[in-house]
Structure 1
């Protein structure tokens, strides 16, 4: 089962091995070479900011789909959902650069129906072909009313590790942390036809606190 809502401890748990490794190297190198260790200390600052994982306010409301990731909106439009048999859908894509928070959080309340992992390339995640060519991990989430959406973690040019902590049958609450991608990436969301996007291309969005779209009413 999913291990409950993430407590958001400011620094993501995935970052501590990196932070400790770089800190150790900076201390040791600094002990021998003094100011020549400055690049390591600067890299440490970068690593700390990359793995930050702040708490967010979570909007409430029926039919709302929240942003699963921080970043910039690069796609809004109709597209087939390859994870649900090519079903018609509304696709919204968010590109994360290395300065964005990189944890992924559930956009809706629902149950994980399926997890689909696909091996692939590592081209620039801002390119359209990244959605189909890059390494990716898709969650198909079923809402309580039977509506299904797909939420896809996509690796990027230097993102080499997709982490996902849920499996089929797990229950997710909106805003609940379920995964992480290291070092620049993208998230695609496929929504049912009739969904109304609440963001536009170029918008800067925040995971959980920005409303991505509104689902069609029954």
Structure 2
């Protein structure tokens, strides 16, 4: 049975939206088209695994991948093809999901440290040590006064930790072209308070 998000009434035609190919794919995903779900998985697997690894979930990458894909499937009907490119939309999902996981991990870590203290021990294992939580880069980029293609490049570079050659292959740019787009976009958002606080040597520092 389709979820409420999947039943959401779409625009009249994919041809009328800003990103018709992305929109058409997500409409097929929302309709439970198995080929579309597989296409979505293969297209965004590198992005999801990169973010998961960067956020400290190297050993749980496959779990994060499946969880994010399920979220994307459940909310596929919400993608209207106008507000952002699908890459940006998917990055926003994995960004929020992994940050939620980090917050949960940090809560467990604080509980573990409290237990150790009560037992007279100050030792906290590496597996329960708190991990630094990234600031919400996806939300920042969503508010930034930049174009969708610029938002996409910055999200992949800073959020997913991808190199420009990988980004170029994923987005259709040349490597120099992807670098140029990223540089121009960064110049546009340097004035934002969140960016100024996280700028390091002209680059966004995504660790708090």
So what's the TM-score if we normalise by structure 1?
0.28
* Structure with more relative contact order (C-alpha pairs < 8 Å, separation 6 or more): 1
Tell me which protein shows more helix as a share of its residues: 2
Question: Which is higher, the Rg of structure 1 or of structure 2?
Answer: 2
Tell me which protein shows more strand as a share of its residues: 1
So what's the TM-score if we normalise by structure 2?
0.29
